[in-house]
Structures are given as structure tokens and as C-alpha cells.
Amino acid sequence: MIKIEPPGEGDALRKWRRLRNGTSLWWHVQSRNKKSVTCDLRKPEGQQIVRRLARDAHIVIENFRPGALERWNLGWDELARENPRLILVRISGYGQTGPYRERPGFAAIAEAVGGFRYVNGFPDRPPARPNLSLGDTLAALHGVIGALLALHAVQKGGAGQVIDVALYESVFNCMESLLPEFDAHGYVRERSGSALPGIAPSNLYACRDGYVLIAGNADSLYGRLMSAIGRADLRDDPALARNDGRAAQMERIDAAIGAWTAGRTIAQVLDEMHQAQVPAGRIYSAADIAADPHFAARGMIERITAGDGEPLSVPGVVPKLSATPGAIRTAAPKLGEHTSEVLRSIGYDDSTIAGLRQAGIV
């Protein structure tokens, strides 16, 4: 994969969150297996480089505000003329059409407009944000899905196409029954803290030394959970046999589970839930993840030599394919590390590359 970056500072992600040796630690995860090519897309010479790269590309991904590529003579019509089988993934805040198309949009705004922020947090407090850019991640996943579908169509003889991904729509697409509940019943889902409204029991419960999550919301799980905590009365109550009945009495059920966990340690609760085959887990910090044997056994913590020459633990590659598994082949690149190599591969000679460098185009 080739990543185009502006000359000079490069991608802003290089300076986000915590840095080591002047580079974001996030960068070493986000940009592994990529080649960095610097290119000024505002200059005709830079635009020509992109058009030449697009000739042999399967997929081009961009996340500029709608209309930016067209202003730079790199819109769909121009790129498809060079490569009719090209797939162009366009990621923006509000999509390529509609009255909001030209508005700037980051993940934080998409999470709010898409409905997620409204339902996230506790009812007596303002809407909370996760300290992760979930909107960006969800948009990227939707872009991958679209690209794979389009690639399949091309391989079956179809033409290339545009994948229009909006950040807010990617969030909205994960909001489950939020809209039909409102349409059918006028019900507006509100913040509910750690509980899962309408699905019971599934909540966070206090132990002597912290908290555990227990999800006994399937009918059979509920029965085993109530047996494990010694509440045969709740297990055998016909009104609680199905989820709709339990959802109407969530507070009663949660109080019973909470009273049971309050006298036990996290380890004791998890052991008893494991024996009862009821899903439960502690809340992991980064330190817990780094020390967990299952993460290690699944290859989810890989030790690499980062681009700054120092060792670094990073997440492993997912999903896991049996025949063609993914791998970390190269470290995240230094800015412009592969510019000359890539330009030579599309026909530029060294003197031309030197001239482009001198002009600040690459």
C-alpha cells in the first residue's frame, strides 16, 4: 500500500497522542506495511504523479472534503479515464451528496450526529465520548467492506466504481434498533450507564476489589446464572423466563446479582461464572492486555522493531485467515521514505525526481 503525504510535515497522525523520538506511537500501528510517498497534490506535477499511480492501482482511498479531488484534477472522471477498473473509496464527514456534503466532519462530530453520543454515558450526566476515534474506525471498516464488494464485482468482469462512505452514516449503521423504536413507538433511547436497555441481565457489577461484567441475557444463560448465585426463586419465576419479562424487571434482577457479587472478589466471581458457563469478564486496562496469556496465544501482541529502531509492542493482525494470513511485513515508514523507489517504478528517472524534490513537489 502506498500512502501519499504532503511534503514537509507529512500526515498529521505522525504527531498525535503520545510520541517517541518525535513520532506518534499510534503511527507505528496505523501505517505498518505502507510505503510513504510525499507529493503536493495542489501542483500539476504532483497531480500527474497520482494519476500515473492510479493507472495500475486496484483501489484508491481518499478522505478529503467533497470536491477537493475535483479541484486538483483528480476526481473520479479523471482517474477512471486512466483506469476504468479502478475502485475509489471516498471517506468524508457527511458523504459526497446532500445538504451537509461540504461541512467538515471529524469522528467526534460523526459520533454525535450518528446518534452514538446521545445514548453513551450515565443518565444524570452529559453525553460522554469514548477516548477513541470510533467514528473513524467504523468509517474505515465500512470502506473496507465497500472496497471488497467492488473488487469482487471487478473480478467478475464489472467496471470500477466509487464507494461513498460518510462518517456519520458509519456510526448510524451501528445503532441497532434506535430508529425503528422511535418510528414505531415514539421511544427515544436514553443514556443508561453500564446497563443494556431492553436486554437483561447484562451489566457491570461491583465486587470487593473492583467490577465485573456479567452477560446472562439469553434464556438458558439466565437460568444458569440464577442457579449460580443461589436465586432459584428468580430462576423459576415464569415472568422472568423470557427476555421481555426480564427487561421489565431489570432493577430487581440487577440488585440480586449485585448483592451476590458484592461479597466476592473479581477472581471468585469469574471462577463461578466460568463454572456455570455464563459470559463474564473483568475490565481490562492496557496493562492487563499486555499480561494476558490469551492475547499472547492468539498472536495479538507482536513485538516489532519500529521505524525509530526501538522495540515496540503493537496489536497483531486481524481478521485471521487460514490460508492467507496477514502479517506485519514492514515497519511504519519515515516521511517520504519510498518516494524515489515508487516514482522510479512508474517511469520517473533520477534527474526528474531530483527536480521534483528541488521544487518542493515531492
Q: Which tens digit of pLDDT belongs to each residue from 216-232?
A: 999 999 999 999 999 99
**Residue bearing cell 524515489:** 340
Pick the closest to residue 276 from 212, 222, 224 (CA basis). Answer: 224
Give the residue-averaged pLDDT of 6-23. 94
Q: What is the pLDDT of residue 227?
A: 98
Cα 121 from Cα 191, distance rounded (Å): 6
Q: How does residue 16 score in pLDDT terms, banded at 50, 70 and 90?
A: very high
Residue 46 to residues 9, 14, 61, 65, Cα–Cα distance (Å):
16, 22, 17, 19
**Which of 11, 40, 77, 136 is flagged as catalytic?**
136
Q: How does residue 197 score in pLDDT terms, banded at 50, 70 and 90?
A: confident
- Enumerate the CATH 3.40.50.10540 domain ranges in the chain, comma separated: 2-175+297-358
Q: What is the pLDDT of residue 261?
A: 98
Fold (CATH) for 202-285: formyl-coa transferase, domain 3 (3.30.1540)
85 Cβ contact partners less than 8 Å away, ≥ 6 residues apart: 58, 154, 159, 160
pLDDT tens, residue by residue, 146-164: 999 999 999 999 999 999 9
Q: How does residue 115 score in pLDDT terms, banded at 50, 70 and 90?
A: very high
Q: What is the pLDDT of residue 250?
A: 95
Q: What is the pLDDT of residue 130?
A: 87
pLDDT tens, residue by residue, 46-92: 999 999 999 999 999 999 999 999 999 999 999 999 899 999 999 99
110 Cβ contact partners less than 8 Å away, ≥ 6 residues apart: 93, 135, 139, 166, 167, 168, 170, 171
Catalytic residue list contains 233? no
Q: What is the pLDDT of residue 359?
A: 96
pLDDT tens, residue by residue, 227-265: 999 999 999 999 999 999 999 999 999 999 999 999 999
Q: What is the pLDDT of residue 196?
A: 87
Give the residue-averaged pLDDT of 340-359. 97
Q: What is the pLDDT of residue 275?
A: 98
What CATH number was assigned to the domain covering residues 2-175+297-358? 3.40.50.10540
What percent of the chain has pLDDT above 90? 97
Q: What is the pLDDT of residue 33?
A: 97
- Enumerate the CATH 3.30.1540.10 domain ranges in the chain, comma separated: 202-285
What percent of the chain has pLDDT above 70? 100
Using the predicted structure, report yes or no on whether residue 177 has a pLDDT greater than 90.
Answer: yes
